[in-house]
Structure 1
Amino acid sequence: MSLFEEFEQHIMKIESNIDSWISKLGLSYNHFAVLYSLMYSEEKNDLCTQKKICDEWYIPKQTVFNICKEYREKGWIEFAESAQDKREKILRLTDIGREYAKPIYQMSSQLSDKIFAKFGKRKTAQLFALLTELDELCKTEIDKIERKNENPI
């Protein structure tokens, strides 16, 4: 097994645990991501768009569009025009949507806080620093391979 495969297995185990927890809330990962993003944006007094959700959660545009359409039909969200780009819609929770999303958001935040508190500040900082370094190494090495392949010998 390569180190990338071993790394991926660790990530997949963590994701599986999180997916299992999300499904116990009665949601799919994608539905959770949309609700979480809407509530997070509201808590941070930030704007939320479908594009922002797609980019942050790596979810296809059509999937986010369909979930937003479903939530709009349920009366959970409303759309407003963006002042900067008339084609882009700002998403907002309605009162009903907020009642549904807020406990999910709070439970998720509490879970994250508990996990990382138990993991410890030092190890959390190390983990994120190492992941950032690994990401940069991946980008650098992939760029080298791509440049080499552009100029075949």
Structure 2
Amino acid sequence: MNDFDILGKKIGNLDEVMDLSIAQLGVNYNHFAVLYTLMSEKNHQCTQKFICDEWLIPKQTVFNICKDYKEKGWIEFFESPTDKREKIMQLTDAGKVQAEPIWQASNEFSQAVFKAFGKKKTEQLFALLDEFCQIGREQIAQNDNKK
């Protein structure tokens, strides 16, 4: 097993922890992504494309979730002031009632985990991940230059 295989397993373990924490909230990953993002963004609004790009979820999946939430009265759509082709969606008051407990519980979980892990180790983890990604990008560039 090479180091990338081991890294993949570690990332898989992290994904499993995140999935378990989301399942405790009573939603699946895709629904969590939509509600959490809308709750987190300024004025509780964003585009479907933003969610797709941030969470790597297919457009059709996000579209179907948002369609369902619109029918439930949790979100509303309006035209973007900068691009008439783009639709902005925003949580309604009813949507905030649904999204706020999920957002709050997720943040509490995150704070508890990182507090237990420790500030110094958290800073080291993030710095090492940044460095690792930079080295990977440099290696890719070197490989491109060899072609």
Scaled by the length of structure 2, what TM-score is found?
0.93
Structure 1 portions without partners, runs of 5+: none
Deviation for aligned residue 1:119: 0.9
Preserved contact between residue 52 and residue 58 of structure 2 (Cα < 8 Å): yes
Match among 38, 56, 59 for residue 58 of structure 1: 56
Aligned twin of 1:114: 112
CA RMSD of aligned residues (A): 1.4
Alpha-carbon distance change, 18 to 9 in structure 1, aligned in 2, over 3 angstroms: same
What is the distance in 2 between the residues matched to 1:28 and 1:121?
29
Q: Does 1:23 align with 2:26?
A: no
Q: Report the number of matched residues.
A: 147
- Given candidates 132, 139, 142, the residue that maps to 1:144 is 142
Taking structure 1 as the reference length, the TM-score comes to 0.90
Q: How does 1:2-151 map to 2 (within 5 A)?
A: 2-41=2-41, 44-45=42-43, 47-149=45-147
In 1, the alpha carbon distance for the partners of 2:45 and 2:135 equals: 33
1:112-146 CA-to-partner distances (Å, cap 9, x unmatched) read 01111111111111111111111111111112212
Q: Which amino acid aligns with 1:7?
A: L
Higher relative contact order (CA 8 A, sep 6+): 2
Deviating runs (4+, > 4 A) in structure 1?
A: none
The code of the aligned residue for 1:31 comes to H
Change (3 A) 1:53 1:146: same
Tell me how far 1:62 sits from its aligned partner: 1.9
Q: Which amino acid aligns with 1:77?
A: I
